[in-house]
Amino acid sequence: MKLTLRVWRQKNADAEGAMSTYEVDGISKDMSFLEMLDTLNEELILKGEDPVAFDHDCREGICGACSLVINGDAHGPERTTTCQLHMRSFQDGDTIDVEPWRASAFPVVKDLVVDRSAFDRIIQAGGYITAPTGAAPEAHATPVPRPDADFAFEHAECIGCGACVAACPNGAAMLFTSAKINHLNVLPQGAPERESRVLDMVAQMDEEGFGGCTLTGECATACPKGIPLMSITGMNKEWLRATRKAGKK
């Protein structure tokens, strides 16, 4: 396949960026999207040009590093991560636009690489269960009903890639934040910190400059792990509950 790529190039966080056009030839349908970019980069290096910087690591769809907006879609046209997107989703002669995640809480580092440390700070604000090593009771001391365990797992699947933020017209991190809150708040182990967790994480999310939710559902559509939009409803419920409880104190 022969393709025309229009790629966002930006030297560093402070520089102005722009779309640059490249032609790539000899692309196989079996290549992953990132392997196609590898091909482009090999050519650029040999030509003495700066290769396109992009985040990637496991290339198995689980680490959450890869983060490209392809033709306006976070992670491209299929419901998967960029690394698991294959070139057979495109046609010979296509022009493909490749851009970084866009959100003011995710500033561009270089080209297609953005800084997602805001997500780490949201987790640091309360996305954990306080269980110092060695203090744990026997694992079977607290049974967890299967539906709760399944619910927790479905939300724990989040890979923290940030596609939800990239897809949201408001640059909101509600789906990411809610996934962790729902995972931990449904478990009996998470109950003691249930209120502080949701209040602190939502406060941090606001602090980072993410937008609010207008329930467009773009986040859930883009999520490669299928975290449902209803996750946000669950977070809102937890937040209201925690606020009421805090108000009574």
| Residues of span 141-160 touching another protein by CB under 8 A | 142-146, 149, 152-153, 156-157, 159-160
- Measured from the CB atom, the residue of 93 and 137 that comes closer to another protein is 137
- Is 71 a binding residue for another protein by CB under 8 A? The answer is yes
Residue 148: φ, ψ to 5°: -70, -40
- Is 164 a binding residue for another protein by CB under 8 A? The answer is no
Among 4, 20, 92, 131, binds another protein (CB under 8 A): 131
Number of residues near another protein (by CB under 8 A)? 126
User: 């079977």: which residue's tokens?
Assistant: 140
| Residues of span 74-103 touching another protein by CB under 8 A | 78, 80, 84, 86, 88, 97, 99, 102-103
Q: How far is the CB of 135 from another protein (least distance, A)?
A: 7
Among 92, 128, 196, 226, binds another protein (CB under 8 A): 128
Residue 22: beta bridge partners? 5
Q: How far is the CB of 93 from another protein (least distance, A)?
A: 17
| Residues of span 201-240 touching another protein by CB under 8 A | 202-203, 205-206, 209-218, 228-230, 232-240
Among 92, 120, 192, 196, binds another protein (CB under 8 A): 120
- Measured from the CB atom, the residue of 93 and 181 that comes closer to another protein is 181
Among 14, 25, 60, 93, binds another protein (CB under 8 A): 60
User: 């104190």: which residue's tokens?
Assistant: 249
Closest-CA residue to 234 (of 154, 169, 164, 123): 154
Q: How far apart are CA 19 and CA 96, in angstroms?
A: 11
Among 2, 91, 92, 169, binds another protein (CB under 8 A): 169
Closest-CA residue to 65 (of 74, 76, 73, 54): 54
Contact 85, 75 (CB under 8 A): yes
Characterize the bridge pairing of strands 18-24 and 108-110: unpaired
| Cα 135 to the center of its chain, rounded Å | 32
Closest-CA residue to 163 (of 103, 97, 75, 83): 75
